[in-house]
Structure 1
């Protein structure tokens, strides 16, 4: 049985995660690996229902604590139903966001505290973290311009720039704390440059 692994891709709206994930999947399959691509929140039928709750505009808003707990409810289902079984059979899982997103968005952006989010992560997936995380870092103004040009903004995409600046700083802090796992990619560059950066990170990871 081939040994599997867990790669996550992080970044604010408009960072180019979908394009990056497609390239990572292609690269892994070119190396002969079985690959499962998934996303958070979501990835399972129940998770997708929770995703709809989280992204929908609602008149009364949503308490930050509720948002964080819904994220981890979807994540727990995702882990037990899809991620852990795939890893157990030697597949590679490539996930659009994971617990680092909760630290950045709810911990930093919603100001719940990143340590609080890490407690939830430790409870939800003790001993399991991504083997490699690619943080696609893009200036907030550019990211939001890209995101707003593709569809009607969801509840998160409608947040003000100051929220995303806090999220971006949260990602920067996480990267400083775990530089061996989290690799920053300058996602403001042209597609060819970003793709080359992603492939270089993958090559280094597999050759270490």
Structure 2
């Protein structure tokens, strides 16, 4: 049986890392073999791209270069990690995937949606089976992110940028309700974890995918 690709999306400070750990535990407890990865990153090449893209000193990186770098890392991740895992019947749980490019490089940077779609078809090849969107107000998310320490290059963007990112995420979720589950990430972290785990349990039942 082919595996499933489950992605976790959201703006800054949404709590993705913590929720990702909870989802991995939840899926593993159901007897599902899970591979966990992240974007950009997940491979040696991808992690090198991540270091470059998020380096706060790289202020010269233009929007087009950022978009191409994100898809370069994604193309490597898909071919090196995700597709082999899915073909082996394993599930892949990814911290961000192509929806992040529609939100950040599309909504945030203003890159045309058609350009992102072309790159998705060519470089990403596959789409998630399920996407959990952790949604919260921008000001709350940035306050949480700021408490983590020094900001990376993208976190240094202004509030308007992140409002556009959030709007793009919400628009994609509204346009594809069969794939997306929107989680209120403004709640207490335990409540967010519980809501995410409940959402994936319900989806497993809907799909008949529960072992």
Partner of 1:184: 182
3-state SS, counterpart of residue 132 of structure 2: strand
TM-score normalized by structure 1? 0.96
Summarize deviations over 1:171-191 as a string: whole Å, max 9, x none.
011101111101110000012
More moved, 117-126 vs 74-83: 117-126
Of 144, 148, 151, 1:150 maps to 148
Mapped to 2, the partners of 1:183 and 1:135 lie a distance apart of 6
Q: Verify the 8 A CA contact 2:15 2:189 in the aligned structure 1.
A: no
Is 1:166 aligned with 2:164? yes
Is 1:52 aligned with 2:43? no
State the shift of 1:60 in Å: 4.5
Partner of 1:76: 75
Partner of 1:138: 136
Partner of 2:4: 5
Partner of 1:28: 27
Mapped to 2, the partners of 1:48 and 1:85 lie a distance apart of 19
More moved, 32-41 vs 114-123: 114-123
Q: Verify the 8 A CA contact 2:132 2:180 in the aligned structure 1.
A: yes
Summarize deviations over 1:159-206 as a string: whole Å, max 9, x none.
101100000000011101111101110000012321221122112211
Partner of 1:194: 192
TM-score normalized by structure 2? 0.94
Task: Flag the 1:150–1:201 CA change in 2: closer, same or farther, 3 A.
Answer: same
Summarize deviations over 1:35-69 as a string: whole Å, max 9, x none.
11100000000100000110002355211000000
The answer for unaligned runs of 5 or more in structure 2 is: 207-211
Q: Verify the 8 A CA contact 1:14 1:144 in the aligned structure 2.
A: yes
More moved, 57-66 vs 32-41: 57-66
State the shift of 1:116 in Å: 1.8
The answer for unaligned runs of 5 or more in structure 1 is: none
Of 198, 201, 206, 1:203 maps to 201
Is 1:116 aligned with 2:115? yes
Partner of 1:175: 173
Partner of 2:209: none
Mapped to 1, the partners of 2:91 and 2:7 lie a distance apart of 11
Aligned length: 206
More moved, 100-109 vs 52-61: 52-61
Partner of 1:90: 89
Mapped to 2, the partners of 1:134 and 1:76 lie a distance apart of 21
